[in-house]
Amino acid sequence: MVNTPASRLILASDSPRRMKLLAQLGLPFEVVPADVTELEAPDADPREMVRHNAALKADWVAARHTDATVIGADTTVFIDRTVLNKPRDLAEARVMLRMLRGRTHTVFTGLAVRRQSDGLKLDAEVASEVTFKAFDDDTLELYLSRVHTLDKAGGYAIQQHGELIVAGHTGSLTNIVGLPLDEIKQLLTKAGLRR
């Protein structure tokens, strides 16, 4: 760690998954959720959308904590030229899971690292692919009974009972969960927080 006030690290998200992943890096950090309205249009370009939302969150928190290095992140699921964000209810989660079953989709995460004190602005975007099993409706209902899906893009969590619905994935697993750690390490190294 660099011995400056800018070594204070904030995660601009109260996602339990992102907090757990970031903790794996062994750096102390605070959590300050951003009070912003995210872009969530189903016809948005997924890469632009996650980058926009990640920057929106990081900028909002960094403006209020000017001495800190702030991480913003946003994740979405993309299939059939459609963005699948967090389902509004179980009925929408069912629609999403039926759309994804038996097929491969892309998970995009946008990352933004901001620091007001020296004008630091770093951005990245990561993509992974997930292939779902061709599961039946009974399996779908079993999955929904075991996993709270309403706070998860695409209506699922690969790390929770993924064996029921996921056939495999390519690319970063931590990206699919919500915070790609290899890319976060690289950004924090550029920001002077890791050696």
- Known catalytic residues are 74
CA angle, 50 as apex, 48 and 54 as ends, to 5°? 120
Which string of DSSP letters, residue by residue, matches 88-138? SSHHHHHHHHHHHTTSEEEEEEEEEEEETTTTEEEEEEEEEEEEE----HH
Alpha carbon distance 8, 15 (integer Å): 19
DSSP β-bridge partners for residue 113: 71, 122
Both tokens of 166, joined, read 């996921």
Contact indicator for 70, 12 with CB cutoff of 8 Å: yes
